[in-house]
Structure 1
Amino acid sequence: ALSRLRKELDMLHREPPPGISAWAKEDGSFEIEAVIHGAEDTPYARGSFHLLLAVPERYPFEPPRFTTPIYHPNIDSAGRICLDILNMPPKGAWKPSLNLPTVLSSIQLLMSHPNPDDGLMVEITHEYIHHPERFKQTAEERTRRHA
């Protein structure tokens, strides 16, 4: 698991997806820190969102979580992320072929395109669906404050 993790981190250093960076918290550590920059034309633009990923020895990942507060329908106040690729089958779509760059890119995509059909935060999801301008304004304000 550690060997694969090192290869994936090396891949992220050589060819990072736009707006994403990641590194081992300590040398030889199974904890990864990552930063995802909010995409332009979203409420998260100009924000830098920090995540912590715990990679168990049995690899694949345990779900990453945000350590930077984010106002999002699919991310709860503890930073947990509702994204199908972060869960094992049959409920989830995790595959051993997925890697760290793919997981982080998928989270970045979720930030830009929330999934209201699978909302984790009921009130935020309701606001996203029924009051999109209020959602955008609150998300932008929280991004300025926290990210």
Structure 2
Amino acid sequence: MVLRACGLIVFRRLASCIPPPDNIEYLLLQTSYGEHHWTPPKGHVDPGEDDLTTALRETKEEAGLGKEHLHVIDSFVQELRYEVRGRPKEVLYWLAELRDPGTALTLSDEHQDYRWAKLEEACVLAQYKGMQDTLRAAHRHLQAQQDKQ
């Protein structure tokens, strides 16, 4: 049986005096268990729950950011597949912009720290190639949207 999880790649845009794409930072949470790895907010799908609802619920539970704080960019969905303790896992990520870059976070007990990081630092923190590729794909998507404006 495949484990299924969903999450949000939350980003914020810094002051307008910083030119895009250098004004974008991504939210990563450091787990309080295991290897203390860094990851975007995500979690397992509850029975009867749709994927995007799971992503929003988990982000609220893990970082204190509800849909009132976020703008989900539904033109970006990325799926990651990997194994956890010998079992297949798939994770769907949507991209979501934090409406107010100064919004405070409230971490759950599952996490011990958080960091807002520019793309390259986020990729270093993320460690896993699949997550790094997902962050880079999100960044390219945001750049393409910016170029259209």
Relative to the length of structure 2, the TM-score reads 0.29
Relative to the length of structure 1, the TM-score reads 0.29
Q: Which has the higher contact order (CA 8 A, sep 6+)?
A: 2
- Bigger share in strand: 2
- Bigger share in helix: 1
